[in-house]
Amino acid sequence: MLRFKSIISRIVFLHIVAVAITSILMSLALSWLLSFATDNIHDKAMQEQAVSVGNRLGLDSDGRLQLDLPLDLLGLYSQAYGRYSYAVIDDKGTVLFSSLPDHTALFPADTRQAPVEFLHHRRGNATVFGASVKKTIGDQTVWIQTGEDLANRDVLTDDIVADFYRNVGWITLPILLVLLLADIAIFRRALRPLREASEIAEGIAPERPGVRLPTEAIPREVRPLVSAVNQGLDRLEEGFRIQRDFTADAAHELRTPLAVLRSRIDLLEDPKMGDALRHDVDGMAHIISQLLDIAELDTLALQPGEKADLQAVAAGIAEFVAPLALAQGKDIALSGPTEPVWVRGNAEMLGRAIRNLAENAINHTAPGSTVEFVVEDNGTINVLDRGPGIGEDERKLIFRRFWRRDRRKQGSTGLGLSIVQRIAELHSASITVENREPSGACFSLKFVALKS
């Protein structure tokens, strides 16, 4: 069986079948109607001829029937012309007058019952079609038969019928094809909102759970499907929200017991044990803060028109992480334009992204080396270190949540770069990683720079 994936090709196929059937049926019906009409005209003409022949019948002085045809009628019924013929028969069937050479009736089967009858009769290899009309003259009743040899039938009417039959097909075909084109155009128009909805649907993603398909322009027949998809998205968004809230709530809830734990550690008498435990608690606090950041970023959207000075944010973060670097015997350097570098974005979020990159750089750069912050006036910030760098095969993995090269490393959750990536996404910024010679990594965040 034929299967069409597209509605339009299905319509085209059905239309072509319908066009073919309609043109055949239409031309058949019309030609039948036309030939019926011409037959009718022919019958009428024959009846009129019989009447005019009848009008020429009269009685002579002896009371016998006489037929006195004028010249034009004589010509019409002449043997030479051969097309028309007449005969007059009485109520017993005796032929009184006949234009036929053998002086016979035109229609031997004439029942002579009805006042007007239409008959046909095969004579030799010709078929004579005609009428038999009753007429009473004095006390005599006669039937006047007139006929036409259809081999000679009016060529004009036949031609019209034949032409009609041919032309109807040719006329209906283009009309129906125009209809088909109109249908395709209508359908394409009707499907356009669906195409637009599909484009919107392509943008549905976990970070954009609020996207809904527009239903106003959607054809009524498909609207239930689109509404059902929207309702499904509502439920998904709700599920998403519950999950996110749970992460945020859980992280929040953990903060209090951690604070309690920290104060209890302070009460410990063994300072060595206290330091070790404090370090563990700091690690846990870091995990919780990263989890909270993730949960919060999932709900955040950038306000339109928000802008931040990348240079100032970078300077703030450099200052913030400097003690951490110094504690590990590493240095921080910041370079960039003296003018502010305005980018589209939220300063707080930009700071979080740069802080994560800076912490990674400080943690991985070799002792005694410097972590550099380089701000460019095109809205880019580069964070460079002198660590082991990122292998080709790791470039995708590092942005995954909870991925880290060394799982045993304390205080490392593997969430930092996924936070950076999410912030970049929210800012339509791009993030790239490259390795440095002879060693080290360079993480670049390119934000959308603003003119002033």
Ligand X SMILES: Nc1ncnc2c1ncn2[C@@H]1O[C@H](COP(=O)(O)OP(=O)(O)OP(=O)(O)O)[C@@H](O)[C@H]1O
Binding site residues, ligand X, CB under 6 A: 286, 290, 356, 360-361, 364, 385, 387-388, 390, 398, 403-405, 412-418, 441
Nearer residue to ligand X within complex by CB, 52 or 439: 439
Nearer residue to ligand X within complex by CB, 10 or 286: 286
Q: Which among ligand X, Mg ion, none contacts residue 350 (Cβ within 5 to 8 A by kind)? A: none
Q: Which among ligand X, Mg ion, none contacts residue 307 (Cβ within 5 to 8 A by kind)? A: none
- For the CB of residue 429, give the shortest distance to ligand X in the complex, in Å: 17
Nearer residue to ligand X within complex by CB, 44 or 395: 395
Q: Which among Mg ion, ligand X, none contacts residue 364 (Cβ within 5 to 8 A by kind)? A: ligand X
- For the CB of residue 420, give the shortest distance to Mg ion in the complex, in Å: 8
- For the CB of residue 419, give the shortest distance to Mg ion in the complex, in Å: 8
Contact 346, 399 (CB under 8 A): no
Q: Which two tokens stand for residue 60?
A: 């002579």
Q: Which among ligand X, Mg ion, none contacts residue 346 (Cβ within 5 to 8 A by kind)? A: none
Nearer residue to ligand X within complex by CB, 285 or 302: 285
Q: Three-class SS string for 276-322?
A: HHHHHHHHHHHHHHHHHHHHHHHHCCCCCCCEEEHHHHHHHHHHHHH
Nearer residue to ligand X within complex by CB, 176 or 288: 288
Tokens 């790791």, residue?
394
Query: d(Cα 379, Cα 244) in Å, to the nearest integer?
Result: 31
Nearer residue to ligand X within complex by CB, 218 or 383: 383
- For the CB of residue 409, give the shortest distance to ligand X in the complex, in Å: 7
Q: Which among Mg ion, ligand X, none contacts residue 403 (Cβ within 5 to 8 A by kind)? A: ligand X
- For the CB of residue 397, give the shortest distance to ligand X in the complex, in Å: 8
- For the CB of residue 364, give the shortest distance to ligand X in the complex, in Å: 4
Nearer residue to Mg ion within complex by CB, 93 or 391: 391
Q: Please tell me whether residue 383 adopts helix, strand or coil conformation.
A: strand
Q: Which residue is nearest to Mg ion (CB)?
A: 416
- Residues with Cβ within 8 Å of 188's Cβ and at least 6 positions away in sequence, in order, are 8
Q: Which two tokens stand for residue 320?
A: 């913030």
What DSSP string runs through 199-232?
HHHHT-BTTBTT-----TTS-TTTHHHHHHHHHH
Nearer residue to ligand X within complex by CB, 219 or 411: 411
Residue-level length of the chain = 452
Q: Which residue is nearest to ligand X (CB)?
A: 416
Q: Which among Mg ion, ligand X, none contacts residue 274 (Cβ within 5 to 8 A by kind)? A: none
Q: Which among ligand X, Mg ion, none contacts residue 398 (Cβ within 5 to 8 A by kind)? A: ligand X
Q: Which among Mg ion, ligand X, none contacts residue 46 (Cβ within 5 to 8 A by kind)? A: none
- For the CB of residue 387, give the shortest distance to ligand X in the complex, in Å: 4
Contact 49, 86 (CB under 8 A): yes
Give the phi and the psi of residue 72 in degrees, each rounded to 5: -65, -40
Q: Where does residue 98 fall: left (phi above 0), alpha (psi -120 to 50 degrees), or beta otherwise? A: beta
Cα 178 from chain centre: 21
Task: Give 56's DSSP letter.
Answer: T
Nearer residue to Mg ion within complex by CB, 47 or 360: 360
Q: Which among ligand X, Mg ion, none contacts residue 415 (Cβ within 5 to 8 A by kind)? A: ligand X
- For the CB of residue 327, give the shortest distance to ligand X in the complex, in Å: 16
- For the CB of residue 399, give the shortest distance to Mg ion in the complex, in Å: 11
Strands of 323-422 (E only): list them.
Answer: 331-335, 342-344, 370-376, 380-384
- For the CB of residue 302, give the shortest distance to ligand X in the complex, in Å: 22
Q: Which among Mg ion, ligand X, none contacts residue 53 (Cβ within 5 to 8 A by kind)? A: none
Binding site for Mg ion (CB under 5 A): 360, 416
Contact 314, 335 (CB under 8 A): no
Nearer residue to ligand X within complex by CB, 105 or 362: 362
Q: Which among Mg ion, ligand X, none contacts residue 130 (Cβ within 5 to 8 A by kind)? A: none
Contact 389, 439 (CB under 8 A): yes
Q: Which two tokens stand for residue 398?
A: 């590092």
Give the DSSP H or E segment for 23: helix 7-54
- For the CB of residue 212, give the shortest distance to Mg ion in the complex, in Å: 36
Contact 344, 450 (CB under 8 A): yes
Q: Which two tokens stand for residue 437?
A: 């010679």
Query: d(Cα 358, Cα 332) in Å, to the nearest integer?
Result: 9
Nearer residue to ligand X within complex by CB, 123 or 286: 286
Cα 125 from chain centre: 65
Strand ranges of the sheet holding 441-446, from the earlier edge strand across to the other edge: 331-335, 370-376, 380-384, 441-446, 430-435
Give 376's strand partners.
380
